[in-house]
Every structure is written in structure tokens, then in C-alpha cells.
Structure 1
């Protein structure tokens, strides 16, 4: 898929951006990330940098950028996310302009990493109103459909019974709430500078029970090399973890893992490797929760 560049923007869109941040001297597209649209660092005549995310207003992925805008408008002041400087529409494009975090890199989630305290602190500070964001059930709908296909096709082998049992016991209402959720916490969306950790890319933001973000971070910690018990100990210090029903955490782990196992089998070939690794981490986390 062609990754859109600064020059792909309409003249009206570029003019609208430069009216807010000054003439753009250089636009450097982000190398990482698979989301559609323009994602680029802008160096301006004001000797400051901004980060631009832009998407055609009539494109199917515009809903994700609208979510990101809504999340930034609803988050509390203490959330460690790069501030959104401006958002608007011009020349057929939806435009989001953020403060650029200089020197940021994907956080290291592995055991012994110096980034871990900052990551946990950043996640603990995610709060705010879910407002107009969709409920977490909307995000989970694709996982539910995939899990249904996974079980209907007889996949999973010896794991199948554990998956089905965990899913059957999941109290869906326990996941609901009005708190702002990032929903997609992984190392690539946690930007470490050595001094602070920022939570970026709020395209899947939704509203739900606050503990959901911690539950979705746990298998990522296992994937990074932590034992499931250690991952649980790390997320146990996050706000509202004690309020998370065990059946809800276990069912969510089953959904998360089946989705990745299914994608490892049938998803794009270039993504199957990391999907497989994620699925194995998810299974280890689920077995721990099920106390096998």
C-alpha cells in the first residue's frame, strides 16, 4: 500500500497547516506504523517541529483519526500524550497537528528495562471522559467475530476447550464504563525519551472500564519476556486493577489471543510472524489466568 506523503496533500490542506505552524521547510514521513494516511514530522520556519496526521475526509479510515481527535479533546490534563496543537479540515482532508516529541523511541518492555517504571506511570495516568467515543464493545466486535470463526472452524487443538470456556464465562457488562481507554498499548505506542514516556496513536480509543487497558497491556509484557506471574504483578499496581473481575480478564485474554492466532494463520504473510509471537504470549497469559 502506498504510504501518503506531505506532497500528496491538497494545496488547501498544506496552506491550512502552514497558517498554524509556519512555512514547512521539511516533511519527514514516519517510518514505523501501518495506519493509512500521512504521518510526518514537519520542520518549520519557526525552528520548531510538529507531527502531522492527515487522512482524506472521504476515506474509510477517517473514523480512526476522528477517534484520535475525540480522545485528545476528552483526556485529562495529566495524561502523558503529546498535546494536540490544532485540528481541522481543508481541501478534502482531516488534519491533526501534534507537538513533536524529540528523541522519542519505542519503549523497551523487557524484564529489567529502565523504561518499565515510566511506562507503568504513563499508563496509570490515562484518564478522562470517554465522551463521544464508541464503547469498548465496538472494538471487541471484530475480536468476537474472529473468535466465533476460530471455534467454528475447529481451530486451536488442545487449547480449544480453554478458549471456549473462558469466552463463555466472560461477563461483557463488566468491561463497560465511561472512562477513556487507549485500547492499543504496545511498545510502538509508548514513546520513551529517557526522561518521560508518552502514550501516542489514539486511533482505537474508546470508553469502558479503566482496568481494560491494564488487562490488554499484560500479554504485551509477556510477549516482551516477562513471566505471566510477573506481568500480573506489574499491572496489579495500576488504578482499578483490583476492581477487574477475574472472569472478565480471562475472557478478554481468550479473545485477544484467538484473534492473533487466527491472524497468524490467515492474515497477511508479512504479519504472521509477529502475530504468532503475540498469540503464544497471549496463550501463556491465559493459562496463567486459568491457573493451569
Structure 2
């Protein structure tokens, strides 16, 4: 059973039958047949449909679709994913986008169907090694970025201000070390944009639920936050989730003492710690618990990296 220490990365998925009928009709029109099988895929936080479809003619596809309820931000995020998925070059190990559209207030994306599975939880070291090898290869292939994209500062600038915001908020229950060093953490965090800058196209939201494994390939899915950053950004950003999902601690997997990395870890930790104190957003009942759990791992890593007592 999941606990707050290892909560699921899952939202309230919408069954295919509850997708707007005009959207379902448009998808069937594109696929050239009536949908006779729709299997909802677990994982991820958006309150949307995520289904593997099979038509009466045997054609298969993976479809993501979201409407304005219960979380209108999800529509904006899917619009971003539509733009990014359409622009991704073939060098990116992502399922191919077949078509996408907006209809009746919904955004729908139709991808090739991939016979694959998410990494096993808790993390197995052989699968983790495969993923990190693939990420390094992906980073090399996407440096410099083959497409135009926003910078990491433009994408995450409003989010990575957790410690600075906590300076003016109620800090009851905050970790004693963090409370003691709050001004220093806010200062360290303030340099994260410069520290994370680079010309590599990064995913910027990597976790196990955004990875699919086949016997011979690692697929990276869900690209709404794709942006330009340092080549190490994706690996560093992923490590707190690895630690909280049964994998090694971050410092065991990434030991580069670069102060730029420490500034980014500080910003991500502040994000997890502060957001984990907020109420659950509409339609995302496990998000805050997942952020709190990542914050615990990230904070321990940050303590180690700063050496502050």
C-alpha cells in the first residue's frame, strides 16, 4: 500500500467513454474505424484520458485527451505538449505523434502505440542503468538543441522560488535545518537560472511514469516542458524521484561537486518542499504527497551538498 513516503505518480484518469463524443468521433475518423478496445494507462498526474485504443479494423494508437474540467491548467499543458511533440526530431526516443487537434474545448494527441512498460517499482538497478545510459545518449544527441525552444528559466522561473516565497510565509512544521538556513537557501536558489542555462534540449520533467521500456529501447514520453538547459539537468532533476521510489540516494548516482548543480538542487528542493505544503490541485489528488516525498529526498541531498550544519 502506498504511503506518503512512496505515493503513486497517478492522477484521476478519465475513461475513454467519458471523453467528449466529438473528440472520440474525430479520433475514430483519423484511425479509420470504430474503437472496440480502450485500455486506460496508469501513471502521470493529469486528470485526462490516457488510453491504448484498438479499432475494429485492427489499427492501434495511444491517445491522450483532456478537457477544461476539473483542472483548466491541464488544457494549457496539453497544448504545450502538442507543440513540442510535433517539433521533436526523430533523434528523440519518443513515440511518434500521428495527429493532434483541439475540439470542443478539449486537446487530443494521437501517438503510435508502443508495446512497452514503465520501469518496475521499486527501481531495479539494471533498469535504472539502462535509463541513465539512454539519457546521456539523448542529451548528446540534443546538444545543441535541434529545435527552437524556451529556456529553462522561462519555463520554470515562476516555480523555482520556493525558498524565497517561504521567507514571507508561515513556516510552521518546516524542517529545522531548512528553517535555520532559510535566508541562505533563498540566496542559493536565486542563482539557479544562470546555473542551469545551456543549449541542450531537455525534457525537464523526468520520472519513472514518463519512461517506457522495451527489451531494446528506452522511450521518453510527455514533453510539455521541453526547454533549453544544461546537459546534466534531466538526470539531476530526476534523482529525488528515484530515491523516493526505492532507488539509490541521489549522491550515490551523481557526485559532481559543481556549485551550479547545487544551486539547481536548491531550487528544486525549495519547489518540492513549498509545494508539498499546499492543498491538492483539482483533479490531482496525489500530486502534493508525491512532491512531499521527493522533497524529503532532495532536502537530504541538499544538506549533503551544502555541508551546512
TM-score by length of 2: 0.77
One of 75, 85, 91 as aligned partner of 1:72: 85
- Of Structure 1 and Structure 2, which has the larger fraction of its residues in helix? 1
| Aligned-residue CA RMSD (Å) | 2.9
**Equivalent in the alignment of 2:37:** 26
Count of residues paired in the alignment: 280
Equivalent of residue 256 in structure 1, options 239, 248, 268: 268
Gaps in structure 2 of 5+ consecutive residues? 1-10
Shift of residue 131 of structure 1? Answer: 2.0
Residue 36 of structure 1 deviates from its aligned partner by 2.5
Deviation at 1:135, TM superposition (A): 4.2
Contact 2:196 2:230 in 1 (8 A): yes
The 4+ residue runs of structure 1 with deviation greater than 4 A are: 132-135, 269-273
What is the Cα deviation at residue 171 of structure 1?
A: 5.0
2:148 to 131, 150, 160: 131
Identify the residue that residue 112 of structure 2 maps to in structure 1: 99
What is the Cα deviation at residue 77 of structure 1?
1.7
Q: 2: distance between equivalents of 1:89 and 1:17?
A: 11
CA contact (8 A) 1:27 1:42 kept: yes
1:264 and 1:135 mapped to 2: Cα distance? 22
Q: 1:133 to 1:109 in 2, by over 3 A?
A: farther
Unmatched runs of 5 consecutive residues or more in structure 1: 237-244
Counterpart in 2 of 1:165? 184
Q: Distance in 2 between matches of 1:130 and 1:177?
A: 14
Give the superposition deviation at 1:130: 5.2
CA contact (8 A) 1:143 1:256 kept: yes
Q: 1:129 to 1:57 in 2, by over 3 A?
A: farther
TM superposition shift of 1:134: 6.2
Aligned: 1:265 with 2:280: no
Superposed CA deviations along residues 55-106 of structure 1, whole A, max 9, x for unmatched, are 2379432221122122223323222111111112344432211112224123
3-state SS, counterpart of residue 167 of structure 2: helix
Residue 14 of structure 1 corresponds to: 24
Match of 1:148 among 164, 167, 179: 164
SS in 2 for 1:43: strand
